[in-house]
Amino acid sequence: MKSLTTIADFLRARFPIEKMNLQSMLMKKEVPIHKMSWAYYLGGLTLLFFTIQVITGLLLLFYYQPTVNEAYDSVKFISDKVPGGAVIRNLHAWTSSAMILTAILHLLTTFAMKAFEKPREVTWGTGVLLLFITYTFGFTGYLLPWHQLSVNATKVGLQFIGAVGQYLPGSLSELPNKLIEIIQGGPSIGQETLSRFYAIHVVILPLAIFAILGAHLLSVQLHGMSKGVDEKPKIKEPFFPNFLIKDFSLWAIAFLILFILAITIPFESFFSFPLVEPYNALGSTPEGIKPEWYFYFIYYPMELLPFWVIIIIMILLVLGLFLVPKIFSGTSRKTLTFIAIIAFIYFVTMTVFGQQIFELIKGGHS
Ligand code: HEM
């Protein structure tokens, strides 16, 4: 009974009913102005990118066919024959990368600004869930065109789950393989897998993200922007209309950039040709299979370090992210900013130079 009261008190403080009105959540809201104020725009940008994904994704559904015999051709038909189809498809692909990038920057900057502090723990926790959902959108979407790269990269991704089994005792060691079978819908990748990934990508994840994003945004509006810096900011601006006008102007610029990218550079021009041929279930796995760039920060270490080290890092990373408000409650913003910068440098280094680092170390050992 006592624990129920504690949970109710916790939720009442995070979602105060008396503040759930337009006056508090919109008219009275103010945004502090200081040297990190630019970071307050990152959540909004991520929101714009999510909206673009929903709209372009719905348009793609008109032509996309989720069957192993038709998926590849339907995607090609969208690109080659449907008026404006190539732009919509490209926009969906480019924006998926943009959304992941801004979500990561948003996480790092809210961390540096200590925006996870009481009463914003729910904003932080829902944020971590949003990042995982965004990554899962990327992983499941990758399979849908059903070409060599998409199917083989998914196979490699799923094999990593299976490899966890060797570290589990007794009958538990079978659990990861069972999990793969559930995800795949059978002993190997095929139609059942495509159907499942399709259902997850177009129905399950959107439902989940709408609910969690709702809680995230409600909590942001109820508590207002965090002060962001150690000393109390002296200047503030009204959220409505001043901040929103700047927010929307930035949205217009971001959309324009994405649109120009989508009409000029096909996303697939980054993949070498044989990889985007239709998937051949009987052929051998082609060279150069890699996940999308946003997995490199863990993919290259996985290729270099013993797998059990990676498992421990992953567990610590996931738990650590959720427990940030507890772990760093007494840490100064200066230290948090330092940690965020180190994390950012690591992420960029692995993303841009991961392949070279990998070749250098592997070459040195052979
Ligand atoms: C789909 C992904 C996400 C969307 C659409 C989104 C959206 C937003 C928006 C619109 C804001 C208000 C403006 C701002 O402060 O930037 C916000 C604030 C916030 N978000 Fe997110 N967010 C996402 C992911 C995340 C992630 C991954 C985290 C970190 C774990 C996070 C943590 C926060 C925090 C702590 C705040 C409060 C900032 C403050 O009060 O200063 N969000 N989010």
**What's the gap in Å between 178 CA and the centre of ligand 1?**
35
Inter-CA distances, 335 with 39, 131, 168, 323, Å: 17, 23, 37, 17
Domain positions in the chain are 34-365
- The one-letter code for the residue type at 11 is L
Predicted local distance difference test score (pLDDT) of residue 366: 58
134 lines ligand 1 (CB under 6 A): yes
Which stretches does DSSP call E strand in the chain?
30-33, 235-238
The secondary structure element, H or E, covering residue 87 is: helix 85-112
Inter-CA distances, 31 with 26, 37, 222, 226, 243, Å: 11, 8, 13, 8, 7
110 lines ligand 1 (CB under 6 A): yes
Predicted local distance difference test score (pLDDT) of residue 3: 87
pLDDT digits (tens, 9 = 90+) for 130-150: 999 999 999 999 999 999 999
pLDDT above 70: residue 365: no
Q: What is the C-alpha separation between 219 and 223, in angstroms, rounded? A: 6
Q: What is the mean pLDDT of residues 191-202?
A: 98
pLDDT above 70: residue 192: yes
**What's the gap in Å between 140 CA and the centre of ligand 1?**
23
Q: What is the mean pLDDT of residues 219-245?
A: 94
Q: What is the mean pLDDT of residues 87-94?
A: 98
Q: What percent of the chain has pLDDT over 70?
A: 99
Q: Where are the alpha helices (DSSP H) in 144-243?
A: 148-163, 175-184, 191-199, 205-223
Atom of ligand 1 nearest to the CA of 47: 5
CA-based nearest residue to 136, from 201, 86, 183, 198? 201
Residue 42: CB atoms within 10 Å:
20
**What's the gap in Å between 53 CA and the centre of ligand 1?**
18
CATH of 34-365, one of 3.30.200.20, 2.60.120.920, 3.40.50.1580, 1.20.810.10: 1.20.810.10
Q: What is the mean pLDDT of residues 347-365?
A: 91
pLDDT above 70: residue 350: yes
Q: What is the mean pLDDT of residues 61-79?
A: 97
29 lines ligand 1 (CB under 6 A): no
**What's the gap in Å between 74 CA and the centre of ligand 1?**
36
pLDDT above 80: residue 193: yes
pLDDT tier for residue 273 given thresholds of 50, 70 and 90: low
On average, the pLDDT of the chain sits at: 95
Nearest 5°: the CA angle 270, 294, 356 is 70
- The one-letter code for the residue type at 236 is K
Q: Is 271 helix (H, G, I), strand (E, B) or coil?
A: coil
pLDDT tier for residue 269 given thresholds of 50, 70 and 90: confident
**What's the gap in Å between 191 CA and the centre of ligand 1?**
37
pLDDT above 80: residue 275: no
Q: What is the C-alpha separation between 79 and 88, in angstroms, rounded? A: 9
CB 86 within 8 A of CB 308: no
**What's the gap in Å between 44 CA and the centre of ligand 1?**
8
The secondary structure element, H or E, covering residue 249 is: helix 244-264
pLDDT above 90: residue 287: no
Q: What is the dihedral of CA 290, 296, 302, 304, to 10 degrees?
A: 90
164 lines ligand 1 (CB under 6 A): no
Backbone CA torsion sign across 87, 93, 99, 101: negative
Query: pTM for this one?
Result: 0.95
Q: What is the C-alpha separation between 249 and 255, in angstroms, rounded? A: 10
Q: What is the mean pLDDT of residues 175-187?
A: 96
pLDDT above 90: residue 328: yes
Q: What is the mean pLDDT of residues 38-61?
A: 98
226 lines ligand 1 (CB under 6 A): yes
